[in-house]
Homo-oligomer: A and B are copies of this chain.
Amino acid sequence: MKVVALAGGVGGARLAHGLARCLPEGDLMVIVNTGDDFEHLGLAICPDLDTVCYTLAEIASPVTGWGRADESWKALETIARLGGPDWFRLGDRDLGWHLERTRRLQSGQPLSQVTRDFCQALGVAVDITPMSDDKVRTWVYTDVGELPFQEYFVRRRCEPRVQGFRFEGAEHSRPAPGIMEALGQADCVIICPSNPWVSVAPILAVPGLRAAAAEQRVVAVSPLIGGQAVKGPAAKMYTELGIDPSALAVARHYGDLLVGFVLDHVDAAQAPDVNALGVQSLVTDALMRDEADRQRLAQEVLDFAQTLAGSAIF
């Protein structure tokens, strides 16, 4: 069963990790958002891509979900002591990763190639790829003006009120090598429980990618449980945009892209409304508390995808 997963940061990485444990090597591609990539201290930083790589390599911090386990902060302490910018938390091990990536990008290697090389060095067999080798940058329209994503997300801790989003460069970006082929051959596409506005939307904004996904069975897992995001500002964004934050709102958000939708028990009352959208629903325990949860949820999502009506390919 060939699976393509679309993922943002922590939540997406965790389900992708579960999927990697359920599927044979070579049967999973994870397409990762690069809209929140940015340049900082001269380094090319790809927060979502790194979270997915670190999580699948099982070296991610179990505390934060992002960054590395067993991390130290000596370089950042020095920067702070010198009065430099220390608002973006860069650990020492993480810094080595960024320095080598930046060196390779500047020498002309595409991000997708660097990512594959790094995964190989870490022993990760899953095909993890940036959505594009072209530069796409998420901007957030807010009540204090338009902000680059990391400025909104990290430096201002998601405090400004959101009014909309823009994915700079998306219209001219191309899917990274292998993505269109993988989507064409996929038995199902899984939209991980990532932020629909700023993690999944940039991926779907790469020309051709949404249409290719729509050709396959697409199943999304709700990142909202009981009206709250497990992590990050997704619920706050829905509210600020005038939409009641709920699993149903997420299902509506993806619209006719979906054939299946996974929501938590606490949101079971919304399942009939999801079904009324023409989307089949699976109600389960959608919260991933630990690694066992990741694998259980991933297997349930895969089983659900197999049973979906019209899924003649299985």
The size class of the interface chain A forms with chain B is 20 to 34
A99 within 8 A of B: yes
A76 within 8 A of B: yes
Cβ contacts under 8 Å, A104 to chain B: 84
Cβ contacts under 8 Å, A43 to chain B: 42, 99
- Interface 1/0 per residue, A55-85 and B, CB below 8 Å: 0000000000000000110111111011111
A254 within 8 A of B: no
CA distance in complex: A91, B95 (Å): 11
One of B81, B94, B102 near A42 (C-beta < 8 A): B102
One of B81, B95, B103 near A75 (C-beta < 8 A): B95
CB distance from A235 to the nearest CB of B (A): 35
Instruction: Verify A117–B75 contact, CB threshold 8 A.
Output: no
A81 with B41: in contact, given A74-B93, A75-B92 (CB under 8 Å)?
no
A304 within 8 A of B: no
A121 within 8 A of B: yes
- Interface 1/0 per residue, A119-137 and B, CB below 8 Å: 0011000000000000000
Instruction: Verify B117–A96 contact, CB threshold 8 A.
Output: no
Instruction: Verify A92–B121 contact, CB threshold 8 A.
Output: no
Cβ contacts under 8 Å, A76 to chain B: 96
Cβ contacts under 8 Å, A97 to chain B: 78, 82
Cβ contacts under 8 Å, A42 to chain B: 42-43, 99, 102-103, 106
A118 within 8 A of B: yes
Residue of B nearest to A78 (CB): B96
A72 with B99: in contact, given A117-B82, A118-B82 (CB under 8 Å)?
no
Give this chain's copy count: 2
A93 with B121: in contact, given A84-B99, A100-B84 (CB under 8 Å)?
no
Instruction: Verify A117–B83 contact, CB threshold 8 A.
Output: yes
Residue of B nearest to A71 (CB): B74
Residue of A92, A94, A118 ringed by the most chain B CB atoms within 10 A? A92
Residue of B nearest to A121 (CB): B82
Residue of B nearest to A84 (CB): B100
CB distance from A100 to the nearest CB of B (A): 4
Instruction: Verify B102–A75 contact, CB threshold 8 A.
Output: no
Instruction: Verify B121–A96 contact, CB threshold 8 A.
Output: no
A95 with B95: in contact, given A118-B82, A121-B81 (CB under 8 Å)?
yes
CA distance in complex: A106, B77 (Å): 21
One of B79, B91, B93, B100 near A100 (C-beta < 8 A): B79
A/B interface sample: 18 pairs, CB < 8 A: A41-B100, A41-B102, A42-B103, A43-B99, A72-B74, A74-B95, A75-B93, A75-B95, A77-B96, A78-B95, A78-B100, A82-B118, A83-B100, A84-B96, A84-B103, A85-B103, A92-B92, A92-B95
Other A-B pairs beyond A75-B95, A84-B96, 10, CB < 8 Å: A42-B42, A42-B103, A43-B99, A74-B93, A74-B95, A76-B96, A78-B95, A79-B99, A81-B96, A92-B95
